[in-house]
Structure 1
Amino acid sequence: MTFDHRPLRNEKRSLIADVRYQLISFIRSFTLVLYVAVGMAVVGVAMKFIGLTGGSFVFVFAMAVLILLFLVQVGLSFFYIVSNVWLALLGALSSFSLVTGLLALIFRYQNWYGWQVIFYAVVPLYILVGVLLFLYLKRFRKLHEPLRDFFYRNLVFPFVFVLLLGIVSFMFSADRFNREEDPMLQESPIPADGAAAEDTTDMWRAY
């Protein structure tokens, strides 16, 4: 008497296909949320440029959401791209460079103290990732459709978006984007050197 293993094999294949479908659906929803945050960031930049009240809040909030999403994408790259180790590594590295790039852009657009230091620290990694993405474009058509979509929508487009924001930030003076009076977002999270001189609580002496 022999036991037919075909039903078990078919059930296993069906389960794998279902998990793969659910994962692809999640990535699509994740990318949609990512693009909504990108749109909010563009709106925030436009509001800051025009000088509308609340522009800084919209911009910083949208950029913070993008930073959170790309931090998630660092781990998601390894979980989603299991069939291509190099693409998974590139996805994680690109996502991390986008996190640092977005952080630098927040400081630049808000004209916060220390933005120059952050930019100098971020630019080398960003250039390296740009070169790696460009080199990987040669293998773009060899990827399966889900991975190809992830590479283009979640890595290449955000990279270009951050690059364009960086270019725009240097085309105009930082004061051009900070004409509204928003005391909550005017001060940098990094204390300036003059803060120690103005401190009367001896808080800075501990450092």
Structure 2
Amino acid sequence: MSFPFKAVLFDMDGTITDSTALHDAAWDAFARAHLGSGLAPGDPRLVPGRTLDVVRAVLGRHVEGDEAQRLHDDKEQRFHAIARGRMRPIDGLRDYLEWLAGQGVATALVTNAPRMNIDFSLQELGLIDAFGITLGAEDVVRGKPHPDPFIEACRRLGVAPREALVHEDSQLGIKAGVAAGAAVAAILSGMSADAAQASGARWVTEDYVAWMAQIPMLAV
């Protein structure tokens, strides 16, 4: 089967691995340590974004400099302790990546997560060398929902955004992909099909097994 894109750009949390519950548990532990009370799943402070933005939202105050770095690392170390040995790839991901490689399609991991989480997650998933490039919070000034991460990934891969497909699992990420000029296929690990399509996703799928079944019918 043919594929109409020269590159595929993957978000990380929720897109290559369903890690939302693990992050929620880490944020709950972080809040208990620093506020004396925990956070329930779905707390409005747990918005998708960069770790430091969520740290500030959870604490309800602005932090900078050494304190900000210490709090950032504290949360991520809690995540690593909770997630170690418990992360699994989204169904069909390995087969999809192998198929893309066989088609000569470039791949990138494009996330708001810091490098320490990228390296940890790929190691846990056994996907250290699975992506052509990885791009995280340290690589661009503005993260998602700005289009900058996807635009930069396309630049590094040598493709135009219109030649790329983005896989995302959040409204924030979908909007970033659309703003970059890429087509978006949403992974429904944590949102409804209606919400994904309202944010601009052209296609929706439960996992990569179902997505590969859709590929012969793609229209761009």
Name the larger-Rg structure: 1
Task: Pick the structure with more helix per residue.
Answer: 1
The two structures have a TM-score, normalised by structure 1, of 0.29
TM (norm. structure 2) is 0.27
